[in-house]
Amino acid sequence: MDDRTQPWDRVPELGGPPPRSRPPVPGASAPSAAEQPAADDATGDVVTERDRSWQSWGEAWSDDDGHEDWDDDAPRGRGFWRSAALGVGELLVTAGMVLLLFVVYEVYVTDFLTAQKQDELATELREQWADEPADARSLTQVELGDAFGVLRIPRLGEDYTRVILEGTEEKQLAQGPGHYVDSALPGEQGNLALAGHRVGKGSPFLELDTMRPGDPIVVETADSWFVYRMLGDPATGDVDADPSGIPGRQIVAPTDVQVVSPTPNAAASAAPTGAYLTLTTCHPRYSARQRMIIHARLDGGAISKAEFPDGPDALYES
């Protein structure tokens, strides 16, 4: 069978002569000397221009600072710890932002919400008092959660007024000062005990530590005013110098419940020795570790609102 392949396309026989080269393409010029492949001086191999380009790129890469000594494991280890540190940092920043928002909410937002609720309670209470017959305004019993009186403390501001609710659970304290269930009602013998937040939820007792012996604490009911005065020595300001032996102000542990006994600091079962008022709040500010207590005694009897519609003189003491 005839072999019709061109001589330059044939595979050379072992030990035979090399095949003839492909004839030149008509019209094509021969490569210049600069374009001819050159032999490598060290190996004698033919090195093309493309080979030189790859070789130059490789040398530039190996000479780049910080690349020639790379270890496959080192970057991976550094990357892991870098990612871990970034993750922890993001978590801490997020936690800080959440905590900050919580503080802002507790201190400022709840004050605003409680102030609105106090306005509503005051309006509802005065409407209720106005609708009640005069002979039905005597305060003898209060249902849990109901508003029944208004607390005024001139030392804390001329316009300081807080509606009092029955109960000392958070549901009541979030709206205003709460009356300890089973403690005395305004004007009664025993201890009219009221609790309130120091910071947040309206902060009704925020500045309770500024009170001084002899300061009036006025409680308004449907038909009467009741004036209590902080215990201690008004002349010297000594809160521990009251003749009754009851301090005007004291700091106690949350477990010291005797402060709201019928006679403050006496046994809960002992008979009352007078008509007292006790205010309790957290201490120090922004902490519930202790309790600040203010004790006061009723100064005189009930003052008729019919005779003094604008309140007793004690409300206007400077």
Burial 129-155, CB ≥16 within 10 A → b, else e: eeeeeeeeeeeeebeeebbbbbbbbbb
Helices (H), the chain: 49-63, 73-104, 110-131, 170-173
Catalytic residue, candidates 152, 162, 179, 197: 197
Active site (annotated) includes residue 282: yes
CA–CA gap between residue 10 and residue 22 (Å, rounded): 11
Question: Could you check whether the bond before residue 284 is cis, i.e. omega within 30 degrees of 0?
Answer: yes
Q: Would you say 290 and 253 are in contact if contact means Cβ atoms under 8 Å apart?
A: yes
Cβ atoms of residues 225 and 311 within 8 Å: yes
For residue 147, give the amino acid letter. A
Cα angle at 47 between 42 and 53, to 5 degrees?
A: 110
- 67 given a catalytic annotation: no
The number of C-alpha atoms within 13 Å of 293 and in the hemisphere containing its C-beta is 28
Q: Of 282, 283, 295, 297, which one is the catalytic site residue?
A: 282
Count CB-CB contacts under 10 A for residue 201: 20
Closest CA to 181 of 196, 169, 189: 169
Reply yes or no on whether 197 is catalytic. Answer: yes
| Catalytic, out of 198, 249, 291, 295 | 291
Strand partners, 233: 238
Residue 224 and residue 300 in contact, taking contact as beta carbons nearer than 8 Å: no
Q: Which residues are catalytic?
A: 197, 282, 291
